[in-house]
Every structure is written in structure tokens, then in C-alpha cells.
Structure 1
Amino acid sequence: MTHIAVERNRRKQMNEYLAALRSLMPPSYAQRGHRLTVLHLNMSSAGHMVLYSLSLKVEDDCQLTSVDEIATAAHQIVEKIQEEQELTVAA
């Protein structure tokens, strides 16, 4: 493979990884789409997202079978947690 082809493949793979990370972000942040924003937000919340995703997958009656379904469920959990935190702070 030539250097140009290797670099093209590397950029393609990076874009695929960024798209996967972007899919884990709340829609309001994902629309911004700047690569550093995507990386920063995912790195700062990766630990929490892993725990939420794992807890979703571990449940016995879990019917989630795809990454998209798990990401959607994780977003719902995160939104609920954020709403609860906002209510706690407001009280």
C-alpha cells in the first residue's frame, strides 16, 4: 500500500470512530460536531457511559440487541439522571 492509501484509510477509520462516539452524545452536543468537542465530552463522560451501558446489558430481561438501541437507552438513563440532579439542585 502506498503512503497516500494508508493515510486515506487512517482518516476513514478515524471518521468512523468519531461517528461512533458522536452517536453516544446527547443530540444537542452532537450537532456541534467539532472533533475536539466530541472527544472531550466522550472522554469526560466515558466512565459513566460504560457503567450505564453495562448495567443495561447485564439485566436478565434486556431486549437490546444493537449498539444503537443500547446508546438510545443509555441516553434516556443519562437524561433521567440529569433531570434528577437538576431537581435536587433546585430544591
Structure 2
Amino acid sequence: MSRGPRTPRTLLRALNLEVMLASAEVNTAEQGLITIQQFAVMTGLSVRQVRRLNAAGQAPGRVKHGRKLKYRRSEAEAWLARRKVCALTFRFAE
């Protein structure tokens, strides 16, 4: 999936997410849980695209952590690895 050039606005948004993720990661790292924003950064998708995947049942399972839904880091990484393998297989099959 090819993206266009990054504009200053998208770069700033990515930087803000990185800062936010760094502070949130300290709190949930010991439990191995990540937020939807962290999952979006990990996959290179927007939060909106991740929410659409959740609604379609195509994202990895989430767990309730207090009042929020989070992803298990191990499941998210496995999901991403499977998705990359499927994309590579599809490209080579053509």
C-alpha cells in the first residue's frame, strides 16, 4: 500500500502520537497491552482504519482494561506478521 508524501501536518500528528505512545507505554508495558493509537502506529494505519477493521471483525481481539479496550501486544504482532505474509503471498501469486 503506497502512501503519498507526508505533509507537515501528518508529520506533526505522527510526532504527537509518538510522544503520547511513549508515556502510555510506560503504564501498560508491564501488562503487555497497547492502545488503539499504539496499534495504529505499529501497523501504519490510521485510528479510523483500525476502528473499521474492528467493526468488520478483521482486527485482533481486544481485552477490557479498566474502562478501555486494549490489544495484547503479542496478538497484535502475530496479526501483523500474518497480514504481511498474506500481502507478500498475494503479490507473488499475480
Q: If the TM-score is normalised by the length of the shorter chain, which range does it land in? A: 0.3 to 0.5
Pair member with larger Rg: 1
Taking structure 1 as the reference length, the TM-score comes to: 0.41
User: In proportion to residue count, which structure has more strand?
Assistant: 2
User: In proportion to residue count, which structure has more helix?
Assistant: 1
Taking structure 2 as the reference length, the TM-score comes to: 0.40
